[in-house]
Chains A and B, each alone.
Chain A
Amino acid sequence: MSTVETTSPSHASHDNAHTTFDAKPIWRTFWILLGITLVEITLATIHLKTGFPSKYILNGIYLILTCAKAFYIIAEFMHLRHEIKNMIMTIAIPALIFVWFIIAFLWDGSSYNALRNRYDAHYRDANNVKVAPPSEPTDKEHGSKEQ
Chain B
Amino acid sequence: MAQAIPAGQKWWSGGKSPFNVEYGKLMMWYFLMSDSFTFGAFLISYGSIRFATNGWPDPNHVFRAFPFMGETNMPLVFVSLMTFILIMSSVTMVLAVAAGHNHDRKKVTFYMILTVIGGLMFLSCQAWEWWHLHSEGAWWGQNPFPNADGSKATTNFTNYFFTITGFHGFHVFSGVVINSIMLIKNLRGDFEKRGHYLMIEKAGLYWHFVDLVWVFVFTCFYLL
Query: B69 in the interface, Cβ–Cβ < 8 Å?
Result: no
Structural contact, A13 and B48, CB atoms closer than 8 A: no
Task: State in angstroms the CA–CA spacing of A135 and B48 once bound together.
Answer: 23
Residues of B within 8 A of A134 (CB): 148-150
Q: A87-110, CB under 8 A of B: which get 1 and which 0?
A: 110110011001001100110111
Our pick among A21, A45, A106, A131 for the contact of B97 (Cβ within 8 Å) is: A21
A86 touching B60 in the complex, CB below 8 Å, given contacts A37-B83, A106-B48, A109-B52: no
Number of interface residues of A (CB under 8 A): 82
Interface status of B76 (Cβ within 8 A of chain A):
yes
Could you say which of B18, B44, B195, B218 contacts A105, with CB atoms under 8 Å apart? B44
Taking chain A's interface residues, is the majority helix, strand, or loop, or is none over half, making it mixed?
helix
Q: B75 to chain A: which residues have CB within 8 Å? A: 44, 48
Establish whether residues A7 and B22, one from each chain, have CB atoms under 8 Å apart when the complex forms.
yes
Q: A44 vs B224: C-alpha distance in the bound complex, in angstroms?
A: 10
Contact indicator A9/B198 (Cβ below 8 Å): yes
Please tell me if the beta carbons of B98 and A21 are within 8 angstroms of each other in the complex: yes
A to B CB contacts below 8 Å, 5 in the list:
A18-B101, A70-B216, A77-B90, A84-B5, A106-B44
Q: How many B residues are at the interface, by size bracket?
A: 35 or more
A108-B50 Cα distance, complex, nearest whole Å: 11
User: Which residues 43-75 of B have a CB within 8 angstroms of A?
Assistant: 44-45, 47-55, 58, 60-61, 71, 73, 75
Instruction: Bits for B137-153, please: 1 = Cβ < 8 Å to A, else 0.
Output: 10000001010111110
| Chain A residues within CB distance 8 Å of chain B | 4-7, 9-10, 12-13, 16-19, 21-23, 26-27, 29-30, 33-34, 37, 40-41, 44-45, 48, 59, 62-63, 66, 69-70, 73-74, 76-78, 80-88, 90-91, 94-95, 98, 101-102, 105-106, 108-110, 112-113, 116-117, 123-124, 126-135, 137-140, 142-143, 146
Contacts of A48 in B (CB 8 A): 60, 75
Are A44 and B223 within 8 A (Cβ)? yes
**Does B51 lie within 8 Å of A110, measured CB to CB?**
yes
